[in-house]
Amino acid sequence: MAKTTTAAAVNYSDDNIRTLEGVEHIRMRPGMYIGRLGNGSNQGDGIYVLLKEIVDNSIDEFSMGFGKQIQISIENDEVTVRDFGRGIPLDSVVKATSILNTGGKFDDAVFKKSVGLNGVGTKAVNALSQDFYVCSHRDGECSWARFERGELKDSGKAETKEKNGTLVRFVPDTVMFGEYHYNLDFVETMVKNYSYLKRGLTLTLNGTPYKSENGLLDLVNENLSEEPLYPPIHLEGEDIEIVLSHGNAYGENISSFVNGQNTRDGGTHLAAYREAIAKTLKEFFKKNYAPEDCRQGIVGAISIQIQEPNFEGQTKTKLGSTYMWEKQTKKEDGTMELSNGPTIRYFVNDFVAKNLDNYLHIHKELPDIIEAKIKASQQEREEISGIQKKTREKNKRTNVYNKKLRDCRFHFSDKITEKNQAEVEGSSIFITEGDSASGTITKARDAATQAVFSLRGKPINCYKESRKRVAENEELNLLISALGVEDDLDNLRYNNIIVATDADDDGMHIRMLVLTFFMKYYPDLIRRGHVHILQTPLFRVRNKKETRYCYSPEEKENAISALKTGVEITRFKGLGEISADEFRDFIGENMRLDPVKLADEESIQDIMEFYMGDNTLDRQNFIRENLRSEEELEDID
């Protein structure tokens, strides 16, 4: 039995008081600085944050009018970024890359509208890299430094013939990130977004240049997977650029950016834009249309430039700023006075109201198309809303809801504070099927952050059914209610929606049916990175000394070779076969999640037709080519 250490037994003395020097705190608490660690399989993983932090500095140089090229290369997971801006002041190269809260972006005269202002970004990259090299070129001189895991190993100055600018080369630390790997598709998307937002800037990734001539209009046009109802409207002003159109898909697909930063989780600027679209259309048509009907099927983007943005979390995926700028000035009596610019809400609303209204009056062919779309959405919504209301009332009376959802304490829609940030962002809901599987996960879960929703049997194939038929389906209606997205995706209660089904034919079919539901009616949940598939082990390989869980036949063979003698092999066919104690490892720190992704060029309609439509020859051939026989998964000598 393990020995328990009581509070009285701990000797709390001066020796327990520590001061974390330099970047030591970053290595001890990386989540505070880059969010998650991860191995590169998710676009939000830390290795992409490291790359983004360095590129952001180069983008800020361009925004201030210095350097029209940024060169990025990734080879064998070593990252190199070279810009042609002003370069870091030569005597500050070491401290600017290794001492927290040190940098030029605290000075508005030098960096007016940068992405990051906290003096942490480059330092976090340095601290979390096993090798980090920086070299600044300025007017015929260069200053360089080399670090290992944040510790300075060498530095110096020399003459140079290179153009002004900064070069950073780093290798993320395998001690922190494990066996990571950069997914170049994620990196390419990041680079493309930078090019859309910074016209005149050429970014080169592994030799391929990216440059945009039409800004956000290029982003929207190149990412359209369905034909829009009318050519996208493109409006530009000082510190703001917007694009919008409507399509026949469900939901809203609006990309948002602040100072070149892709704010995947939105924020005050996106909320203002969504409000402004609905308000302007209602006033133009002089009818009290519901905001959700005005925005149904909308495709668009917004980019704003503000001073000293306040992002929620170090990874800068959600804007928290209220004002376009805030500044403290010293009065004659020595006291400080805070002055604010216009609110972001007013700024965006005012721009959209004036410019969109003018555009619709000039392009007289558009209003009829837009109003027809609004009316169709209104009619469908009212019909569906009545059906859902009746279903929810019925379920409340029969207490079905409480039987299907085992909720958690923290929710994604809760207010994020410094104390609960990790719990709120880590909030998850497992969607599983059957009492056995849901019972196992419920016993193994962390009740603070992990909820469980139990499906009964297979949900309907949404691709083949009308929205009305889906609304009448009890299972999916309850799932919508559990997620909190009946009225607005911003009310989503869980950051991670995890589909957890058995690794057999029925389990795979249920997985496809659930994903079809999300793809057709809530595609933004996928686009925002909320939907995942839980990977559970297929095999347990153990001997008297060690147990290994294997997720593929290849891992199984490796485990057999490593454990050698007296090996016992168990093939798991259902989640219910795995004990709660074992399952605790699979949904804890070692949880393997496959993010569900929609590539920019993929059509949701085409995907659903291929996988969930009629059984075509193409699909039969695909299944034959990718099918793994049961014999390949079973233990055979």
pLDDT in tens, 60-72: 888 888 989 999 9
| Cα–Cα dist 387/252, whole Å | 22
Mean pLDDT of the chain: 81
Mean pLDDT on 250-261: 84
Say if residue 131 is in the same domain as residue 263.
Answer: no
Nearest to 395 by CA among 493, 476, 492, 511: 476
Say if residue 360 is in the same domain as residue 414.
Answer: no
Please check whether residue 637 lies inside any domain of the structure.
Answer: no
Distance of CA 13 to the CA centre of its chain: 43
Q: E-assigned strands of 317-388?
A: 326-330, 336-340
Question: What pLDDT does 626 receive?
Answer: 59
C-alpha dist (Å) from residue 214 to 60, 199, 632: 20, 7, 52
Task: Check pLDDT > 60 for residue 21.
Answer: no
Name 579's Cβ contacts closer than 8 Å, sequence gap at least 6.
440
Please check whether residue 392 lies inside any domain of the structure.
Answer: no
What CATH number is associated with residue 156?
A: 3.30.565.10
Task: Check pLDDT > 50 for residue 507.
Answer: yes
Domain boundary (210, 239, 266) is at: 210
Question: What pLDDT does 316 receive?
Answer: 63
What CATH number is associated with residue 258?
A: 3.30.230.10
Say if residue 162 is in the same domain as residue 266.
Answer: no
pLDDT band at 208 (very low <50, low <70, confident <90, very high): very high
Question: What pLDDT does 117 receive?
Answer: 40
Question: What pLDDT does 102 receive?
Answer: 54
CB atoms within 10 A of CB 30: 21
Say if residue 461 is in the same domain as residue 511.
Answer: yes
Question: What pLDDT does 613 receive?
Answer: 67
User: In terms of C-beta density within 10 A (0-12 exposed, 13-18 middle, 19 or more buried), how is residue 265 classed?
Assistant: buried
Mean pLDDT on 547-572: 87
Which DSSP state fits 322? -
| Cα–Cα dist 79/128, whole Å | 13
Task: Check pLDDT > 70 for residue 48.
Answer: yes
Question: What pLDDT does 348 receive?
Answer: 94
* Residue 31 phi, psi (nearest 5): -60, -25
Please check whether residue 457 lies inside any domain of the structure.
Answer: yes
Task: Check pLDDT > 70 for residue 243.
Answer: yes
Question: What pLDDT does 497 receive?
Answer: 94
Task: Check pLDDT > 50 for residue 255.
Answer: yes
pLDDT tens digits for range 386-439: 776 666 666 554 444 556 888 998 888 777 776 777 788 889 999 998 777 888
pLDDT band at 112 (very low <50, low <70, confident <90, very high): very low
The answer to whether 452 and 441 have CB atoms below 8 angstroms apart is yes
Mean pLDDT on 503-516: 83
What torsion do the CA atoms of 140, 145, 146, 151 make, to the nearest 10 degrees?
-170
Please check whether residue 606 lies inside any domain of the structure.
Answer: no
Domain boundary (173, 195, 210) is at: 210
Tokens standing for 72? 């990025």
pLDDT band at 602 (very low <50, low <70, confident <90, very high): low
Question: What pLDDT does 12 receive?
Answer: 46
Which DSSP state fits 616? -
pLDDT tens digits for range 90-109: 888 888 888 775 554 444 44
Say if residue 409 is in the same domain as residue 369.
Answer: no
Say if residue 223 is in the same domain as residue 110.
Answer: no
| Cα–Cα dist 200/202, whole Å | 7
Please check whether residue 109 lies inside any domain of the structure.
Answer: yes
Please check whether residue 1 lies inside any domain of the structure.
Answer: no
Question: What pLDDT does 104 receive?
Answer: 47
Say if residue 262 is in the same domain as residue 320.
Answer: yes
Q: Pick the residue with more confidence: 599 or 226?
A: 226
Say if residue 237 is in the same domain as residue 105.
Answer: no
Please check whether residue 14 lies inside any domain of the structure.
Answer: no
- Mean pLDDT comparison of 29-43, 56-70, 272-286, highest-scoring range: 272-286
Task: Check pLDDT > 90 for residue 127.
Answer: no
Question: What pLDDT does 108 receive?
Answer: 46
Say if residue 134 is in the same domain as residue 226.
Answer: no
What CATH number is associated with residue 419?
A: 3.40.50.670
Mean pLDDT on 206-211: 94
Please check whether residue 531 lies inside any domain of the structure.
Answer: yes
| Cα–Cα dist 210/570, whole Å | 50
Say if residue 477 is in the same domain as residue 458.
Answer: yes
Name 156's Cβ contacts closer than 8 Å, sequence gap at least 6.
143, 144
pLDDT tens digits for range 265-279: 788 999 999 999 999
Q: Pick the residue with more confidence: 98 or 602?
A: 98
pLDDT tens digits for range 317-343: 778 888 887 766 667 777 766 678 889
Mean pLDDT on 352-374: 95
| Cα–Cα dist 116/311, whole Å | 9
CB atoms within 10 A of CB 315: 22
Instruction: Please count the structural domains in the chain.
Output: 3
Instruction: State the Cα angle at 54 between 48 and 60, rounded to 5°.
Output: 125
Say if residue 408 is in the same domain as residue 344.
Answer: no
Domain range for 176: 24-210
What are the counts of helices (DSSP H) followed by strands (DSSP E) for the chain?
Answer: 24, 24
Say if residue 179 is in the same domain as residue 320.
Answer: no
pLDDT band at 1 (very low <50, low <70, confident <90, very high): very low
